[in-house]
């Protein structure tokens, strides 16, 4: 497969991932609202709901840019560093919640897993693009 076909294929895959994330978000409306209600009174500095909003916004932004342009407008090294920081399973509030609330939020847990999968695919794509530019 030549370079332009490969890039087009990757962009199409990211476009499909973007749509899947948006569809999943709509399907999670009830669980997200329930989580927000449960956490809105907490005095924690960081809540699962807050992190979910930030993670989904950041990842959708990167995915949208790749789907539309084939690259991100930010410096690739900065994006790679940021994606490493977004590792869901290294965020304390998410880890604690993920392993204790399975019965109450099954769809939301699957969405977190999808977000992490998308994070890893985005990281891999940007890393490959960066390597191609350097060679």
- Please state the pTM of the whole predicted model: 0.88
Q: Establish how many alpha carbons lie within 13 A of residue 46's alpha carbon, considering only the half-sphere containing its beta carbon.
A: 11
C-alpha triplet 53, 54, 60: angle, nearest 5°: 90
DSSP-derived secondary structure letter, 72: -
% of the chain with per-residue pLDDT over 70: 93
Cα dihedral sign for 22, 26, 31, 35? positive
% of the chain with per-residue pLDDT over 90: 61
pLDDT (tens digit, 9 = 90+) per residue, 83-95? Answer: 999 999 899 989 9
| pLDDT given for residue 46 in this prediction | 87
Q: What ranges do the domains of the chain cover?
A: 3-36+46-134
First to last CA, the chain: 19
């Amino acid at each position: 497969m030549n370079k332009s076909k490969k890039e087009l294929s990757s962009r199409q895959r990211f476009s499909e991932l973007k749509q899947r994330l948006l569809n999943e978000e709509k399907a999670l409306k009830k669980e997200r609202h329930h989580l927000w209600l449960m956490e809105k009174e907490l005095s924690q500095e960081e809540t699962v709901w807050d992190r979910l909003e930030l993670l989904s916004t950041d990842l959708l932004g990167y995915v949208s840019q790749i789907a539309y342009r084939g690259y991100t407008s930010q410096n690739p090294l900065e994006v790679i560093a940021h994606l490493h920081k977004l590792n869901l399973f290294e965020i304390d509030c998410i880890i604690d919640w993920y392993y204790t609330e399975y019965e109450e939020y099954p769809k939301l847990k699957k969405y977190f897993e999808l977000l992490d999968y998308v994070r890893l695919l985005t990281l891999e794509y940007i890393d490959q693009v960066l390597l191609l530019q350097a060679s």
